[in-house]
Structure 1
Amino acid sequence: MTQDMPLISLDRTARPAIADLVYGELHKQVLNLDLKPGEKLSEAEIAKRFEVSRQPVRDAFYRLSKMGFLLIRPQRATLVSLISTRAVMQAQFIRIALEAEAVRHAATRLTAADIQALEGLIAEQAAAKDAGDKLRFHAADDAFHREICLRAGLEFTWDLIAENKGHMDRVRMLSLAFSSQTAWDDHIALTRALADRDPDGTAEIMRAHLSRIHEQLIRIRAEHEAYFEDDDPSEASLPLGLREKRMP
């Protein structure tokens, strides 16, 4: 674990559960790669730094492990999980399958007020992009996708996505160093298609938007090889539906 990680003073005034506070801070640090893939974590050391007992840390560790961010090894050190190329592509496959249909559904149901709410999130992304704040941009990006599902009456869709996108999130965070403008442009195009009530157009834009991570993954893995597992990043490791989509 990074030795110079500062002591974290948790804000208890809002009265959320301590485990939620610990989880939120650790989740942010893993996503930001302040806690790097392969790094060792100690319950006792984290509890000391957060000035809490070990139980809320244990609870936070468990939640992060279910998201694919931590590898808990009984009687041994807990590790920040390496990024799995296969898991990233599986998450992409799930997202395309669910979100392409979600926006198709949304295109016939969203109101002018719904579109205005999406435009507000796009404006938030623009502000984060201009400020170079990747964590804020990522949060607004997630909120944009989630809001479409919620306003289309498909909240369960986002719940399924959230359960499967842990490895994908870290690749997305790393990609924002060079892809935030493209992601923002895609969201503008998607919102326009939703406003035009174009189911086929919105589905195609969403597929293209979520498919960008494949090329981004190749670049990021080349630049950060130590962050990744040794699974095969070749075409053969992609889900069948994605391999067929990419065939000439």
Structure 2
Amino acid sequence: MAARGGRALSPRRARLNVLRGASTRAQVYALIRRAIVSLDLPPGQGLSENELAARYGVSRTPVREAIIRLADEGLVEVAPQLGTFVSRISAREVVEVQFIRETLELASLPHAIANVTAADEAYLRALVEEQAEAGRTGDLRRWFATDEDLHRSLLEIGGHPRAWSVVSSAKAHLDRVRMLTLPDPGILAELHEQHRQIVDAVVAKKRRQAQDVLRRHLRLALDVLEPLERQFPDYFIADEDEEPDLARTRLIRGRSGH
């Protein structure tokens, strides 16, 4: 396979992976973060240190440290006297992070076009095919993993491997919006076709075409943002430091690129 499988880990398998890892603290953090981003732990859900520790077969200490780190990232909220909860999705943050991601990936794309090799082409096309198979079987975890691998690979081919860590560390709210869209077969098909077109354009060294498709591809999250807010109102928060009209204006500007 071109990329790792995306099937959910059972609690037992998750526990074994943690105990075999070099850093229990890092792995517990990664497991909880992945559960939040994948919506296994949905926005607003309460978190219990004892339950999470039992789930991963560890003490409460690495769980507590992971929650502190996730709170710093805005993925967890600790409310005195009330408890600890998975943060709801901030539409404003989705817009801002999408802008960062689009800026970095579009800037790197011409370098990927200049540097792409036959081996790179084979790997990218294998990812596209694996993603198609994941879509056919309904394996959304695997589909998402191939999406991540493809975008990271384009940055690496472009000579900017560290850019992905910047994007990845900031885009948790954006990723949760993306996960909400994946059960839609129409959106899956559209995203996959865009991936195929991006790879074709990069290999053919068609810079303008590659950039146009990549831009449309990355902005799809903004196109679905407001419908998702209406469909899943309990998953989203209103940004208290902005008036609603201003927030809406920023969303529209984000979509148009102005």
Report the TM-score range of the alignment, normalised by the length of the smaller protein. Answer: 0.7 to 0.9
SS of equivalent to 1:79 = strand
Q: Quote how far apart the aligned CAs of 1:93 are.
A: 0.8
- Partners of 2:151 and 2:250 lie apart in 1 by 26
- Partners of 2:31 and 2:102 lie apart in 1 by 29
User: What is the TM-score of this pair, normalised by structure 2?
Assistant: 0.84
Residue of structure 1 aligned with 2:227, choices 219, 237, 242: 219
Residue of structure 1 aligned with 2:120, choices 114, 124, 134: 114
**Which residue in 2 is equivalent to 1:193?**
201
Taking only aligned residues, the RMSD between alpha carbons, in angstroms, comes to 2.2
Alignment of 1:101-140 (within 5 A): 101-140=107-146
- Letter of the structure 1 residue corresponding to residue 160 of structure 2: L
User: Which segments of 5 or more consecutive residues in structure 1 lack a partner in the other structure?
Assistant: 1-6
**Which residue in 1 is equivalent to 2:248?**
235
Alignment of 1:84-95 (within 5 A): 84-95=90-101
- The ranges of structure 1 where at least 4 consecutive aligned residues each deviate by more than 4 angstroms after the TM superposition are 73-76
- Partners of 1:197 and 1:68 lie apart in 2 by 39
Q: Is the 8 A contact 1:105 1:199 kept in 2?
A: no
Q: Is the 8 A contact 2:111 2:159 kept in 1?
A: no
- Partners of 1:126 and 1:181 lie apart in 2 by 9
- Partners of 1:72 and 1:158 lie apart in 2 by 29
Task: Judge which range, 227-236 or 166-175, deviates more.
Answer: 227-236
State the percentage of identical aligned residues.
Answer: 33
**Which residue in 2 is equivalent to 1:245?**
257
- Letter of the structure 1 residue corresponding to residue 251 of structure 2: L
Q: Is the 8 A contact 1:186 1:209 kept in 2?
A: yes
Is 1:79 matched with 2:85? yes
Is 1:8 matched with 2:11? yes
Q: Is the 8 A contact 2:134 2:142 kept in 1?
A: yes
Q: Quote how far apart the aligned CAs of 1:228 are.
A: 0.2
Alignment of 1:63-74 (within 5 A): 63-73=69-79
**Which residue in 1 is equivalent to 2:58?**
52
Q: Is the 8 A contact 1:100 1:203 kept in 2?
A: yes
